[in-house]
Structure 1
Amino acid sequence: MAERLKFPFEIKNVTEEEDKIVKKYYKDYIRPFVRVGPKGFFWMAGYGDKAEDIYNLEVRPDDIWIVSFSRSGTTWLQELVWLLSNDLNYERASAEPITKRYAFIEYPTQRSEVEKPSPPIGGHGATVHDYRDLHTLDSPRYVKTHLNLDFLPPKLLDTAKVFYIARDPRDVAVSFHFMHKLFRYFDEEVEFKEFWELYKRNLLLHMPIFPHIEEAWQKRNHPNMMFLFYEEMQKDLRKVIDRVSSFLGKTYTEEEKNKLADHLTFDNMKKRPAFKTKNDNKHTEIKFMRKGKSGNWINYFDTEELHSEAEAYMAENLKKTDLRFPEAE
C-alpha cells in the first residue's frame, strides 16, 4: 500500500471581514471559509477537511480525468471524451446520465453545514460517485474535478490522461453568476454587478481563476495532457474531435465524426433531459445549459465602468503570462 502523503499546501481561514462578506451570499455555511495554498484558492471548510484524502486518491493508468474551472465547457467536453472513448455508444450515453458516468470527486466537500436538497441533474444529484467511492469503480474510470491541478494526486499526469478546458474568464464570470443561482448557492435576487465584485476579489468557490488555468497551461505540453479552449470547440468542433480521437488512440470515419459533431451541438445537447436540472427556469437564464456562446460577456458588462473593469482585469492578469484566449466567433 502506497505511503499516505501529507497535503503540501497551507489551509487557513479567510479573514473575518471576508467571511462576513461571503456569508451574506453563501448563507448556509457555519464554519469560516478557507483559502488554500500560496494562490489562496477559495473553498468551503469541508474541502479543507478532505483535501488530503483527495490528494491521496489512487490514479489508474486507464483513468480519464476532465479538469476545469467551473462553467468552462466541462459538460460539453465530458460528453465528447466519453463518447470517443466508448466507441460512440449513444444508447448508453442516453440511458446513463453523465453524473453517473463521471465521478465528480470533490462535490461533497462543497456542501453547506445546514442540510438542504441539491437540485438533481438528469434524475440524480450533481454526481453519483465522488472521492469516497472512486476506488470501488470499475476501470476505465471517468473523473471530473474543478480543483486546480496542484491539489490533485501528484502522479496524476504521469499516470493517466488528463483533459483541461479553459474559457475566457469574462464569459465564465457571467455563467458562474447564473450557476450560483441555479444550484442555490446564491439567492436569485443577487445582481451581476454584486457578483462581479466578489469575482474580482476571489471571494467565490474555486477562485482565483487565472492561477487555476495557468497551472494547466504550464503543463500543456505533457504527453498525457490535452489543453483545450472552449472557444476552440465553438469555432471548429470537428477539428477538436480529430485531436481528441488521436489523443485517445481512437479512429473513426468522417461520417461517424460528423454525426458526433451534430450530437454535440449546443442546441441538441440542451434538449436532452440528462443536461437539465429540475431548477431550470425556462423564463430566465437560470439553466444548466444556458447560451453556449463566446463573447456574450459584453452584454452583461453593459456600462462603460463595468466594461473598463473587465478589460483592466484581463490585462492585469495576462501581463505576466503567454496564455491568450482565442477570439470569440
Structure 2
Amino acid sequence: MAKRIPFPFDIKNVTEDEDKLVKKYYKGYVRPFIKVGPKEYFWMAGYGDHAEDIYNLGVRSDDIWVVSFSRSGTTWLQELVWLVANDLDYTGAAKDPLTKRFAFIEYPTQASEVRKPSVSGGHSATWNDYRDLHTLPSPRYVKSHVNLDCLPPKLLDTAKVFYIARHPLDVAVSFHFMHILFRYFDDGVQFKEFWDLYKRNLVLHAPLSAHVHEAWLKRNHPNMMFLFYEDMQMDLRKVIDRVTTFLGKEYTDEQKDKLAAHLTFDNMKKNNKVKTSTDADDDSEIKFLRKGKSGNWVKYFDTEELVKEAEEYMRKYLENTDMVFPTVN
C-alpha cells in the first residue's frame, strides 16, 4: 500500500461574520464553513474532513477524469468523453446514467448536516465517490469540481484529464439557479443576493478565477486537455476531433457527425441519462440543463451598478493571465 501523503494545505474556518452571512443562504449546515489553502477555496466542513482522503486517491493509467468549476459544461463534456472513449456505445450510454458512468468523488462531502437524504434519490448525483472509487473496474471515469492542486498529486502524470472552463458571468447565473435546484438555497433567493456572495468568493468551490487559472497553467501537459465551453458551442465538431485524437481513437467523419448530432443541446435536454430528475417545468430557469447559451448573463446584470461590478470582476479575473474567453456570435 502506498504511503499516505499529508494534505499539503491549511484548512481554516471562515470568519464568524462570513459564516453568519453564508448560513442565511446555505441551509442545513451546523459547523462553520471552511477555506482551503492559500487561495482560500470555499467549502462545507465535510470537505475538510475528507480532503486528505481525496488527495490520496489512487490514480490508474487508464483513468479518465473530467474536472471543472460547477456549471461550466461538465455534463456535456462527460457525455462526449465517455462516448469517444467507449467506441461510440450509444446503447451503453442509453442504459446507464452519467451518474453511474462517472464517479463524482467529493459529492458526499457537500451534504447537509441536518436534512436527511431523499429515499427516492439515492443515486441522483452519483453512484460512486471517493469512498469506493478503488473498487471500480478499469477503465474508471471520474468527475470532480475540486481544484487541481487539491486532487491527487500524480493525477496529471498518470491519467488523462479534461478541464472545461466557461465565461465567469455565465457561470454565476447558472450557479445561482443550481443552488436553488439542489436546495442549497431557498427558492426566493434572488440573483443579486447570490452575486454578492459569488464576488466575495463565498459560494461552493470559489474562487472561480483561481480554480480555472490552476488548470490553465497546466494546459500544455501532455495528459491535459483544456477546453472552453464556448468552443463547444461554436464548433462542436472540431472539439470532437480534438477529444478523439487526445484519447487515441479513430472515427469516420460520418461517425463524428452522428456524435455531434447526439450532443446538440436540444438532444441533451431530452436525454434522461444526462439530466437530473429534480428538474422543474420546461419554462423554468430552475433546471439542470438550462439554456446552453453563452452571454445569457447580460439579462441578469440589468442595472448600471451590476454592469460596473461585472466589469470590475472580469478585470480582476483576467489580470496576470493570458487567457481569453472565446466570443460566441
Same fold (TM over 0.5): yes
Report the counterpart of residue 79 of structure 1 in structure 2: 79
Task: Report deviation, 1:273.
Answer: 1.4
Post-superposition shift, 1:275?
2.9
Runs of 4+, deviation exceeding 4 Å: 118-121
What residue number does 2:101 align with?
A: 101
Please identify, of 296-305 and 209-218, the stretch whose mean Cα deviation from structure 2 is larger. Answer: 296-305
- Which residue type is aligned with residue 135 of structure 2? T
Q: What is the alpha-carbon distance in structure 2 between the residues aligned to residue 120 and residue 89 of structure 1?
A: 28
Secondary structure of 1:114 counterpart: coil
CA distance in 1, matches of 2:298, 2:12: 36
| Corresponding residue for residue 273 of structure 2 | 274
Deviation, 1:311, is: 1.2
Asked if 1:137 corresponds to 2:133, the answer is no
Q: Report the equivalent of 1:260.
A: 259
Task: Name which of structure 1's ranges 140-149 and 293-302 shifts more when overlaid on structure 2.
Answer: 293-302
Distance (Å, rounded) in 1 between the aligned partners of 2:120 and 2:209: 30
Q: What's the counterpart of residue 15 of structure 1?
A: 15
The answer as to whether partners of 1:120 and 1:278 remain within 8 angstroms in 2 is no
Q: Assess, with a 3 A threshold, how the Cα gap between structure 1 residues 166 and 118 changes in structure 2: closer, same or farther.
A: farther
Alpha-carbon offset, residue 118 of structure 1: 5.1
| Distance across 1 between alignment mates of 2:47 and 2:116 | 18
Q: Which residue of 2 aligns with 1:63?
A: 63
Which consecutive residues of structure 2, in runs of 5 or more, have no partner in the other structure? none
After alignment, is 306-315 or 30-39 more displaced?
306-315
The answer as to 2:195 corresponding to 1:196 is: yes
Measured in 1, the distance between the counterparts of 2:118 and 2:296 equals 28
**How do residues 283-322 of structure 1 correspond to structure 2 at under 5 angstroms?**
283-322=283-322
TM-score (norm 2): 0.98
Structure 2 CA distance for aligned equivalents of residues 12 and 118 of structure 1: 30
Q: How far off is 1:124 after superposition?
A: 2.9
Equivalent residue, structure 2, for 1:116: 116
Match of 2:6 in 1: 6
Aligned length: 328
* Secondary structure of 2:30's aligned partner: coil
Q: TM-score normalized by structure 1?
A: 0.98
**Which is worse superposed, 268-277 or 240-249?**
268-277
CA distance in structure 2 between the partners assigned to 1:80 and 1:280 by the alignment = 22
Alpha-carbon distance, 1:278 to partner: 3.1
User: Residue 11 of structure 1 contacts residue 35 of structure 1 at CA under 8 Å; is this kept in 2?
Assistant: yes
Quote how far apart the aligned CAs of 1:328 are: 2.4
What residue is the counterpart of 1:328 in the other structure?
Answer: 328
Query: Does the 8 Å contact 1:119/1:183 carry over to 2?
Result: no
Are residue 45 (structure 1) and residue 45 (structure 2) matched? yes
Aligned partner of 2:164: which letter?
Answer: I
Query: Alpha-carbon deviation of 1:297?
Result: 0.5
**SS of 2:65's equivalent?**
strand
**Aligned-residue offset at 1:279:** 2.3
Alignment deviations for residues 167-216 of structure 1 (CA, whole Å, 9 cap, x no partner): 00000000000000000000010000000000000110000000000000
Residue identity in the other structure for 1:85: A
Amino acid paired to 2:95: A
After TM superposition, give the deviation of residue 60 of structure 1 in Å. Answer: 0.2
- Per the alignment, residue 168 of structure 1 pairs with 167
The share of aligned pairs that are identical, in percent, is 73
What is the alpha-carbon distance in structure 1 between the residues aligned to residue 166 and residue 322 of structure 2?
15
Distance apart, 1:120 and its partner CA: 7.2
CA distance in 2, matches of 1:153, 1:275: 27
Tell me the equivalent position of 2:207.
208
The question of whether the paired residues in 2 share the 8 Å contact of 1:119 and 1:278 is answered with no
Paired amino acid for 1:188: D
